[in-house]
């Protein structure tokens, strides 16, 4: 994989950033079947990635955002950064190519962060409408506790355990279960060390989120309240849900917490 890092000119603030965000946008989006990587699917003419870059760079922090994009779309990602980033931003932005699996993309993103970064958030570009308030909630809790922090929502449906034929065997108690989202926040060293461990490939399959990566390395993971609007694009049906949140954004409506 090419080590290319494209820094957007004119975005370096005077002080060093202590907050890093890795925005993973390198998934192929096969379950969606849209013919474009998920983060580059458009809603009303704007790529999902554009919304994610917009919310991150609106946060009032000295920060460094790494956009991890498919190598084939790195130039398009840079174009989007240039369109979205205000001239006098407190954010530096770079674009790096992703890996075959999500955890590889995260590792490439972490490697591109400057040494000054102490707190890191990892966010799915496929969740374009996660709010600035959610980012702040996660950042505050990481800095307060030093633990890994994930947004979580209660599970509302009744859950059943089924076999491969779809036959129900039992109802699962949902009280202790939550659905987790991104942005997920970490002390940078904790996440970088966990991603560097070799056990990743072997224990219990590939990790599907970063909380799992640090938990396997022994770190504590705590939750903060998630939000419906941080919904992830996975299948075509999700596009209608995201349209709803885009409309709410455009109308300036406060979506529910």
**Where on the chain is the footprint of ligand C5P (CB under 6 A)?**
24-27, 38-39, 68, 98-102, 105, 124-126, 232, 234
Q: What are phi and psi of 129, to 5 degrees?
A: -110, 20
Name which of 40 and 91 has its Cβ closer to ligand C5P.
40
Tokens matching residue 231: 């919904």
Q: Least distance in Å: CB of 109 to ligand C5P?
A: 8
Residues linked to residue 90 through DSSP beta bridges, in sequence order: none
Name which of 68 and 74 has its Cβ closer to ligand C5P.
68
Q: Least distance in Å: CB of 34 to ligand C5P?
A: 12
Residue count of the chain, please give it. 257
Q: Least distance in Å: CB of 32 to ligand C5P?
A: 9
Q: How far is CA 20 from the centre of its chain?
A: 12
Name which of 143 and 232 has its Cβ closer to ligand C5P.
232
Tokens 């000295």 -> residue: 62
Strands 148-154 and 221-225, sheet pairing: parallel
197, 185 Cβ separation under 8 angstroms:
no
Q: Least distance in Å: CB of 125 to ligand C5P?
A: 4
Name which of 18 and 111 has its Cβ closer to ligand C5P.
111
């Amino acid at each position: 994989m090419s080590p290319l890092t494209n820094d957007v000119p004119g975005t370096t603030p005077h002080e060093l950033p202590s907050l890093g965000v890795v925005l993973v946008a390198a998934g192929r989006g096969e379950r969606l079947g849209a013919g474009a990587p998920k983060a580059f699917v458009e809603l009303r003419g704007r790529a999902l990635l554009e919304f994610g870059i917009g919310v991150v760079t609106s946060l009032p922090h000295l920060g460094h955002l790494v956009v991890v994009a498919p190598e084939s779309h790195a130039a398009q990602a840079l174009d989007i950064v240039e369109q979205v980033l205000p001239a006098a931003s407190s954010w530096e932005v770079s674009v790096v190519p992703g890996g075959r699996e999500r955890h590889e993309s995260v590792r490439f993103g972490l490697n591109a962060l400057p040494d000054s970064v102490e707190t890191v958030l990892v966010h799915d570009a496929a969740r374009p409408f996660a709010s600035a308030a959610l980012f702040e909630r996660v950042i505050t809790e990481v800095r307060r506790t030093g633990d890994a922090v994930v947004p979580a929502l209660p599970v509302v449906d009744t859950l059943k355990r089924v076999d491969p034929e779809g036959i129900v065997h039992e109802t699962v108690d949902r009280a202790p279960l939550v659905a987790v989202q991104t942005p997920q926040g970490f002390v940078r060293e904790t996440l970088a060390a966990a991603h560097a461990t070799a056990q990743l490939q072997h224990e219990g399959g590939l990790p599907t989120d970063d909380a799992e990566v640090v938990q396997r390395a022994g770190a504590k993971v705590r939750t903060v309240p998630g939000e419906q609007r941080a919904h992830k694009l996975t299948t075509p049906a999700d596009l209608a849900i995201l349209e709803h949140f885009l409309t709410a954004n455009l109308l300036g409506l406060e979506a529910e917490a």
